[in-house]
Amino acid sequence: MATVKLTNVKKVYGKDVVAVQDFNLEIKDKEFVVFVGPSGCGKSTTLRMIAGLEDITGGTIEIDGVVVNDLQPRDRDIAMVFQNYALYPHLTVFENMAFSLRLKKVPQDIVYKKVTEAAEILGITEYLTRKPRNLSGGQRQRVAIGRAMVRDSKVFLMDEPLSNLDAKLRNQMRAEIILLRKKIDTTFVYVTHDQTEAMTLGDRIVVMKDGFIQQVGTPEEVFDSPANLFVAEFIGAPKMNILESKLVSENGQYYVDLFGKKLLVDGKKGEYFKTKAVKAQDIRLGVRPEHVKLSDMTDKSAFECTIEVNEMMGSELYLHTVTPNGDKFVVRVQTINISDELRHSLNYGKKIYVTFEGKAMHFFDKAEGKNLINA
Amino acid sequence: MGGLSASRRASNTLIYIILTLMCIIWIIPFVCILFESFRVETTMQVGYVIPKQFGFDNYINLFKETDFPIWYRNTFIMGLFVSVIQTMFVLMMSYTLSRLRFKGRKGLMNFMLVMGMFPGFLSMIILYRVLSRMGMTGEHSVIGLILVYTASSGMGYYVSKGFFDTIPRSLDEAARVDGATRAQVFGRIIMPLSKPIVIYTVLCAFMGPWGDFMFAKYIAHGSSKGMNVAVGIQYLIDKDNMRAAHYTQFCAAGVLVAIPITILFMCLQKYYVEGVTGGSVKG
Amino acid sequence: MNRKFFKTLSTLEYLKLNRFEKFVYNLVMFFARIPKMILGLFIKIWNFIKACGLFVANEVKDFFMTFIKGTWVTRVSYLVMGFGNIWRLQVIKGLFFLAFEVIFFVYMKTTGFYWLGKYKTLGDVGMHREYNEIYDSYIDVPGDDSFKVLLYGTLTIVFILAFLYTWRQNIKQNRIMDEIVRSGKKVKSMKQEAKDLVDDQFHKTLLALPVAGITLFTVLPIIFMILVAFTNYDGSHDGYANLFTWVGWDNFNELLHSAGTNNNLSYTFGEILSWTLIWAFFATFTNYFLGMIVAIMINKAGIKFKKLWRGILVLTIAIPQFVSLLYISKLFSKSGIVNGMLINWGLIQQPIEFWNNPTSARILVILINVWIGIPYLMLIATGILMNIPQDLYESAKIDGANVWQQYTRITLPYMLFVTGPYLLTSFINNINNFNVIFLLTGETVANPKLNTSGGSATDVDLLITWLFKITTGATNNYKLASVIGIMIFIVVAGLSLIAYNLMPSTKNEEDFS
């Protein structure tokens, strides 16, 4: 139940290994913020700086308006869930959850009440007398969350809590965390490398790379208008197709020149280019696989691709194809929308015609990869 | 398939033969010393193993004629003190170097590594002179030896540091977030998890004074009242002392020392093996 | 020789070579790297010196800048240590600083300067005769004691260095406190700092006692003994009746190149050093390989009673080593059981003097050391064998490897890789293996050729047992003992340095996992 404010936070290991740089972020009270990025992007480091487990090289971190740079973790009133659970192997589940209360010398009846309440919510009451080694991965994860819950702390930090679980359990726990969040109404900071987790859990997502924030926004913002190529490719699965292309303007209309075909940029994006009078230039064009439509030769805007691999996912197909100039291009097709005959013909070497609409296009400048819209 | 299993049977038989022979070789000296300690007819060395006359004479004489009880007591007292103090020092040192990060940590480790390359006996020369002025040598060598054994024991931190290194650091971090000071992390999380290495350290520390010869001999400096068992028993058969007649007493003393230590060791064997194998791999 | 060995090959070119060519290539490359390694070492040393210089320069700069920029409280603290702490309400800490300063100056005034004054010569007047009016005769009057001068002088120097360090810390703390006050924060209270000792500064609490112990019982004695190596301290210069004094590198010169027939010190040193190295080599590697073989035999699938075999061997670890060593030494003595039985069986007429024949004594100590060492190595090897991932063997079997190939291609490389550091430690321990040699060879008679002014050595003596004999022997040749101690250090340090540079496991620990 607190705000967290990071101002120009910087972390340098040793003399010159920069882990985090220019990190500015205000986390609102009761907000669920997710740090997401590939490994080594500095997301965990940032979280650990908030927790007080890493020294802060530069800048300030405030929790509830108090600068906590020099405070020990125990003085920051935070709770944290670790990737490998970090349960104390020699203590029972009950004592694991009660550990922080014991250190504060909380009376036994309150300890009992708090721990059993948390256990009830997480559905681990029957395991309270067991040792962690006798629990399954999912149960351990619940204990770790329970241990953080009983603290009633201002900020709830989670460092990749689901990445040690298998895929099925991960989906289940993800849903439970969403439920849990409704029950414990506090500020969450959640770190993950999995964009699905980020999209489903976060009120806001912080996409990071090489120690820098790439974009901060709601899941919709990050998905619909990625700030740059990196965010565009990182968010969404399968990842966005990127094609070399040209933005040209003719008769007051903007077109994309793709393999000699001109595709009209219509809708809001076209309007934006017009009002800003964006100049024609070489660009990288991004299209999400799910926004690509199968078409046929008669379609003037459609271009030809050759299928290399057909991945059958059940309800949909991922067609890995190659464009006329050799770029990889993935097309996602709902099986329900196509005939069985067509579906079975989509094999290696088959040529297909694909197209997409203007609103599905993302434009990035060639030099820096920045999104031309709102750039 | 028959050929394969036949050749396997042959090689297994060979291994059984070798192992049996080895066990005999490894056991023989202990059987011999046991027999000789019960020999009554002569206290000199003889050319046969099984005594012509069995008896407890050697054991009785050992207590009557020599300072064996004093050596035994000395060693036992030293073992107790050394095991407590050395375990504390080693654990403090290894925990600090494994878990805490502070300025000069690497430097301290390198410095201790270099210091460890000097033969420990070198410092004994001056230590003896200082300790003897303080009255901690000769007859009263027990105190001096306890100091000598324990004071620098922090330098032997390698094995237990290797153990601490294997405890995930996130446990410390979780505890610190939960509100523990570093001292509480040490006392309430790490120590309860370190039972094997604590037992190993205690065991090794306790056995140290029983086996040390070099330091004990130098500090005791010929005073029989200040010897540990190793020095005392060697003194029984030392050629300079012209005491070849005490040979069977020496055997009896060896048996008396070996029995309790062996029992203790066999009880805690599991922990010892863990420590030895863990320590060697990490260097 | 083919030219291709003398240039760096690309991965693909390297793969084309056959096994012999690869070996030659690697050998050539290793020697080609040596100059670079030496250069690298020099660069490291140079960088270290540079870092030291920079450190000193910074310290000096900080020292003056603190005075110029500091508040008046800080400036007073230059003279009155701890003033800043007291002024900023860290009274007890400040008083400690102040007390240390007072004690230091009182000590220096009363005794410190006295010892330092004599330090250069280690005493001027020895025991001498003086006329005494009461007795009306000449009596012996004690003069200086070189030992005391050296000891207290050294301690005084250490004390001065400690004082300088504390003084510097005192100034640094004032600067930090100045900065804290300037930035508008509060200086930590004593209570807060005391709390830090169990938290942020917990390492200080934990290290205080062990490090103090190491300083007093290892570091200071070693410094003292290194100094002794540069004096003529021995039985005839005990420092009391006869003063001893600084002699520079004389002792080292004598040990390394004393020629002549009377004093065969350098010959003795050479003999003992080479035997020490031979011994360490055999003792380490016989144990290592035999222990590994025993472990493999016991752990072989299909062998029963594994616990029994292991238990019997472990039993021999449990029995204190000195008991078994002394007893075995007696077994092989002139009147021991071995000789007795051999005579009884009529195999020999005269008892064999196992311990007095250099060759048989040397072989025996190595054999008996195998007896001592195999159980340890068996334990270690068992632990490692269990850790070798089974899928390595399975994939080797599928690739068609037989038992011998599995051993040479998987087990052995894995063991060597994992136990590299252990082999080094064990080699060094064997160089200093006092117990085995001393307790086994108590009956060995000294070799007259190895007799020196320091003490008599036998053919099986190691440097460490020689050192022991010199120190405890009749002449108490401390100066020689110190020099030998330093020599042992040089041997050990040199070996460690080489091994560290050659061993793969010290560099990339992840390779085999």
Same domain? C115 vs C225:
yes
Give the residue extent of every domain in chain B: 2-57, 65-282
Spatial distance between the Cα atoms of A321 and B83, rounded to a whole number of angstroms: 71
**Structure-model confidence comparison of residues B1 and A339, the more confident one:** A339
Q: Which of A171-175, B235-239, C240-244, C349-353 has the least mean pLDDT? A: B235-239
Residue C165 pLDDT: 93
Residue B143 pLDDT: 92
Tell me the count of A-B CB pairs closer than 8 A: 56
Query: In chain B, positions 171-190, which contact chain A (CB-CB < 8 Å)?
Result: 171, 173-181, 184, 189
Residue A228 pLDDT: 92
pLDDT at C336 over 90: no
- A281-287 and A361-365: which strand pairing? antiparallel
Residue C469 pLDDT: 87
Residue B282 pLDDT: 44
pLDDT at C30 over 80: no
Chain B adjacent subunits, 3+ CB pairs under 8 A: A, C
For residue B148, the chain C residue with the least C-alpha distance is C217
Q: What percent of chain C clears pLDDT 70, i.e. is strictly above it? A: 94
Interface mutation vs chain B, best among A90, A140, A153, A159, most B CBs within 10 Å: A90
The residues pairing with A354 across neighbouring beta strands, listed in sequence order, are A294, A303
pLDDT at B1 over 60: no
Give the residue extent of every domain in chain A: 4-234, 241-365
Inter-chain contact B32–C337, Cβ cutoff 8 Å?
yes
Across the interface, which of B171, B174, B192 has its CB nearest the CB of A80?
Answer: B174
Same domain? C433 vs C368:
yes
> What is the average pLDDT across B230-234?
89
For residue A145, the chain B residue with the least C-alpha distance is B174
Q: Measured between CB atoms, does B269 come within 8 Å of chain C?
A: yes
Amino acid letter, A275: T
Q: Which of B96-105, C260-269, C378-387, C414-423 has the least mean pLDDT? A: C260-269
Inter-chain contact B192–A90, Cβ cutoff 8 Å?
yes
Give the ipTM: 0.89
Residue C505 pLDDT: 47
Same domain? C287 vs C154:
no
Residue C432 lies in a domain: yes
Q: Which residues of B touch A80 (CB under 8 A)?
A: 173-174, 177
Residue C253 lies in a domain: no
For residue A53, the chain B residue with the least C-alpha distance is B173
Spatial distance between the Cα atoms of A304 and C167, rounded to a whole number of angstroms: 81
Residue C513 pLDDT: 35
| CATH fold of the domain at A4-234 | Rossmann fold (3.40.50)
Residue C33 lies in a domain: yes
Residue A1 pLDDT: 60
Inter-chain contact A100–B168, Cβ cutoff 8 Å?
no
Residue A302 pLDDT: 86
Nearest to B30 by CA among B262, B275, B267: B262
Same domain? C239 vs C311:
no
Residue C393 lies in a domain: yes
Residue C257 lies in a domain: no
Q: What percent of chain B clears pLDDT 70, i.e. is strictly above it? A: 94
Which residues are CB-neighbours of A13 under 8 A, at least 6 positions away?
Answer: A19
Q: Which residues of B touch A84 (CB under 8 A)?
A: 168, 170
Q: How far is A235 from chain B (nearest CA, A)?
A: 29
Same domain? C228 vs C86:
yes
Same domain? C135 vs C165:
yes
Spatial distance between the Cα atoms of B162 and B278, rounded to a whole number of angstroms: 7
pLDDT at C159 over 90: yes
> What is the average pLDDT across C329-350?
85
Contact A212, A43 (CB under 8 A): no
H-state helical runs in C113-233:
113-119, 146-182, 190-196, 202-214, 220-228
> What is the average pLDDT across C75-82?
88
Residue C447 lies in a domain: yes
Residue A303 pLDDT: 86
**Which of 3.30.300.130, 1.10.3130.10, 3.40.50.2300, 1.10.3720.10 would CATH assign to domain B65-282?**
1.10.3720.10
Inter-chain contact B193–A100, Cβ cutoff 8 Å?
no
Q: Which residues of C touch B27 (CB under 8 A)?
A: 312
> What is the average pLDDT across C367-375?
92
pLDDT at B283 over 80: no
Q: Which band of pLDDT confidence, cut at 50, 70 and 90, is reported for residue C506?
A: very low
Spatial distance between the Cα atoms of B229 and B212, rounded to a whole number of angstroms: 9
What is the model's pTM? Answer: 0.88
User: How many alpha carbons lie under 13 Å from residue B214 in its C-beta half-sphere?
Assistant: 23
For residue C323, the chain B residue with the least C-alpha distance is B254
Q: Measured between CB atoms, does B267 come within 8 Å of chain C?
A: no
**Which of 1.10.3720.10, 1.10.150.120, 2.40.50.140, 3.30.9.10 would CATH assign to domain A241-365?**
2.40.50.140
Nearest to A204 by CA among A27, A43, A70: A27
Same domain? C351 vs C425:
yes
Inter-chain contact B181–A83, Cβ cutoff 8 Å?
no
Q: Which residues of B touch C436 (CB under 8 A)?
A: none
Three-class DSSP category at C354: helix
Mean pLDDT of the residues in chain C = 85
Residue C509 pLDDT: 37
pLDDT at C430 over 90: yes
Q: How far is B180 from chain A (nearest CA, A)?
A: 7
> What is the average pLDDT across C170-189?
85
Interface mutation vs chain A, best among B99, B101, B177, B181, most A CBs within 10 Å: B177
Across the interface, which of B47, B247, B272 has its CB nearest the CB of C340?
Answer: B47
Q: Which of A100-114, B239-253, C373-387 has the least mean pLDDT? A: B239-253
Could you report the average pLDDT of every consecutive run of 10 residues in chain A (375 residues)?
Answer: 89 88 92 93 93 91 90 89 91 94 93 93 91 90 91 90 88 89 88 92 94 93 92 91 89 85 84 85 91 85 89 89 89 88 87 87 89 78
Q: Which residues of B touch C200 (CB under 8 A)?
A: 182
Amino acid letter, C276: T
Q: Which band of pLDDT confidence, cut at 50, 70 and 90, is reported for residue B245?
A: low
pLDDT at C160 over 90: yes
pLDDT at C260 over 60: no
pLDDT digits (tens, 9 = 90+) for C465-474: 988 888 887 7
Mean pLDDT of the residues in chain B = 87
Tokens in use for C178?
A: 């100045």
Residue C253 pLDDT: 86
Same domain? C368 vs C429:
yes
H-state helical runs in chain A:
43-51, 93-103, 108-122, 137-149, 167-183, 195-201, 219-224, 229-234, 267-276, 340-345
Same domain? C37 vs C116:
no
Spatial distance between the Cα atoms of B258 and C354, rounded to a whole number of angstroms: 26
Query: In chain B, positions 156-195, which contact chain C (CB-CB < 8 Å)?
Result: 181-184, 186
Q: Which band of pLDDT confidence, cut at 50, 70 and 90, is reported for residue C338?
A: confident
Same domain? C168 vs C143:
yes
Residue C1 pLDDT: 46
Residue C303 pLDDT: 81
Residue C192 lies in a domain: yes
Inter-chain contact A74–B192, Cβ cutoff 8 Å?
no
Inter-chain contact A88–B174, Cβ cutoff 8 Å?
yes
Across the interface, which of B168, B176, B181 has its CB nearest the CB of A84?
Answer: B168
Inter-chain contact C199–B281, Cβ cutoff 8 Å?
no
CATH of the domain at C393: 1.10.3720.10
Q: Can you give the residue range of the structural domain that contains C13?
A: 3-63
Residue B242 pLDDT: 56
How many domains, chain C?
Answer: 3
Residue C512 pLDDT: 41
Q: Measured between CB atoms, does B104 come within 8 Å of chain C?
A: no
pLDDT digits (tens, 9 = 90+) for B117-128: 999 888 888 899
> What is the average pLDDT across B18-31?
90
pLDDT at C507 over 50: no
Across the interface, which of A83, A89, A103 has its CB nearest the CB of B180?
Answer: A103
Q: How far is B80 from chain A (nearest CA, A)?
A: 28
Encode A189-227: b = buried (16+ Cβ within 10 Å), e = exposed.
Answer: bbbbbbbebbbebbebbbbbbebbbbbbbebeebbebbb
Residue C270 lies in a domain: yes
Residue C462 pLDDT: 92
